[in-house]
Amino acid sequence: MKKILITGGAGFIGSHVVRLFVNKYPDYHIFNLDKLTYAGNLLNLTDIENKPNYTFIKGDIVDGDLMLSLFKTHQFDGVIHLAAESHVDRSIENPMEFVMTNVVGTVNLLNAAKAVWKDNLEGKRFYHVSTDEVYGALGHEGFFTEETAYDPHSPYSASKASSDHFVRAYHDTYGLPTIISNCSNNYGPNQFPEKLIPLFLNNIRNNKPLPVYGKGENVRDWLYVIDHAAAIDVIYHKGPDGETYNIGGHNEWKNIDLIKVMIKAMDKKLGREPGSSEKLITYVTDRAGHDLRYAIDSSKLQNELGWKPSLQFEEGIEKTIDWYFNNEDWLDSTTSGDYQKYYDKMYGNR
C-alpha cells in the first residue's frame, strides 16, 4: 500500500485533494497533516474521516523534528504539499508567519524527505503546490508560462517563490524527485470567507458592504477547485521529476464584473430585486502592491498530460453559491469567534 502525506489537507484546496485521493485510490493510505490554523477545518472532511485508508495528524510543518519523526515512523512514499499561509492581505499584516510556514515549513519537509529517502528514491515523489502569484503581475496582454521569470510582489508570493526555489534546489542539488505546479485563483466549496468570492457571498447574504479594492479593475483567472484537484492527481501520477506545470482556467474576470455576476445570482436566490445588492458595492483603499492581472497559459499541462478544466464558470459559480446556501452552518461557524476580529481589523466597521 502506497503511503502519501498530504499537508494542509484540512484547508480549502487540500480537503478536495484528500477527498479525491481517499476515494479514488483505496490502495493508497492518505495521511493528512494539518496544524488546523484558522483556515483548517475538519468539518471539510466529515464524509471521508472514517475511511480505512485515511489518517489525520495534527502537526505544524515548522516543527522540523516532528517532520523527521513522522517520515521515519510512516515511511511515506509521496508528499503532496499544500500547507501554507495563503491570504495576501494577512501576509501584508504579518509577513513572518508566511516566512515560517511557507519557507521554513517547506524546507523542513524537504529535509525530512531527503533524510529518509536517501537510500532508495525509487517510486518516491515530492509534489509542491504553488501559485501563479510567483510570476508577478501582467499588463493587459499576455499569459504566464512555465518560462516566465519570478517577480513576486507581496510577502505571500515572495514566500511561495522562495519555497519553489528551495524545492528546485533540492532536486538539482540532492536529486530529490520533486515536481511543482503553479495554479491560478481557485473558487468553490469550503473556501474560507476571507477570499473574494466567499467573503462577498457572505456579505451579500448578510446585506453588508462589499469592500472592492481600488477601482475593481484587477483581473484574476478563476479555476473551480475540483479541477485543480484533478490537475494535481494527473501531475502527481504522470508528470516527470523536476518539471513545473501551470494550471489555470482561461477564465479571466475583472473583479467588478465578477462581483456583478455574483450579485445577480445571489439576488435571484435570495428573492431580491435583480441587481439590488449592487448598492452594497463600496470602493475602498487599494491593497498595497496589488497585482493588476494574472492569467495562466496551461497548454503544457493540457498537451503533455491531457488535463483540461471540466466546468464552465457559469456552472461553477452556481454550484459554489448553492454549496454556501446549503452549508450555512459551515459559513456561520467559520465566521464566528476570531473571524470578527480579523474582519474589523481589515475592513473597520464597514
Binding site for ligand DAU (CB under 6 A): 86-88, 131-133, 184-185, 195-196, 199, 211-213, 218, 220, 255, 287, 294
Q: Which of residues 180-239 bind ligand NAD (CB under 6 A)?
A: 183, 185-186, 192
Q: Which of residues 85-144 bind ligand NAD (CB under 6 A)?
A: 85-86, 101, 105, 129, 131
Binding partner of 203, given ligand NAD, ligand DAU, none, CB within 5-8 angstroms per partner class: none
Packing angle of the helix pair 225-238, 12-24 (nearest 10 deg): 60
Tally: H helices and E strands in the chain: 13, 12
Say if residues 316 and 253 touch (Cβ distance below 8 Å): no
Q: Least distance from C-beta 37 to ligand NAD, angstroms?
A: 4
Cβ neighbourhood burial of 56 (10 Å; 0-12, 13-18, 19+):
middle
Q: Least distance from C-beta 321 to ligand NAD, angstroms?
A: 18
User: Residue 61's closest CA among 21, 7, 20, 19?
Assistant: 7
Tell me the one-letter amino acid at 313: F
Say if residues 179 and 126 touch (Cβ distance below 8 Å): yes
Among 29, 31, 32, 37, binds ligand NAD (CB under 6 A): 37
Is 23 or 145 the residue whose CB approaches ligand DAU more closely? Answer: 145
Euclidean distance between CA atoms 256 and 111, whole angstroms: 44
Active site residues: 132-133, 156
Q: How far apart are the first and last CA of the chain?
A: 53
Q: Least distance from C-beta 28 to ligand DAU, angstroms?
A: 26
Binding partner of 218, given ligand DAU, ligand NAD, none, CB within 5-8 angstroms per partner class: ligand DAU
- Spatial CB neighbours of 165, under 8 Å, sequence gap ≥ 6: 150
Binding partner of 227, given ligand DAU, ligand NAD, none, CB within 5-8 angstroms per partner class: none
Phi-psi category of residue 152: left, alpha or beta, with phi > 0 → left and psi -120 to 50 → alpha = beta
User: Which three cell numbers mark 172?
Assistant: 538539482
Is 37 or 148 the residue whose CB approaches ligand NAD more closely? Answer: 37
Among 4, 5, 6, 10, binds ligand NAD (CB under 6 A): 10
Q: Which residues bind ligand NAD (CB under 6 A)?
A: 7-8, 10-14, 34-37, 39-40, 60-62, 82-86, 101, 105, 129, 131, 160, 183, 185-186, 192
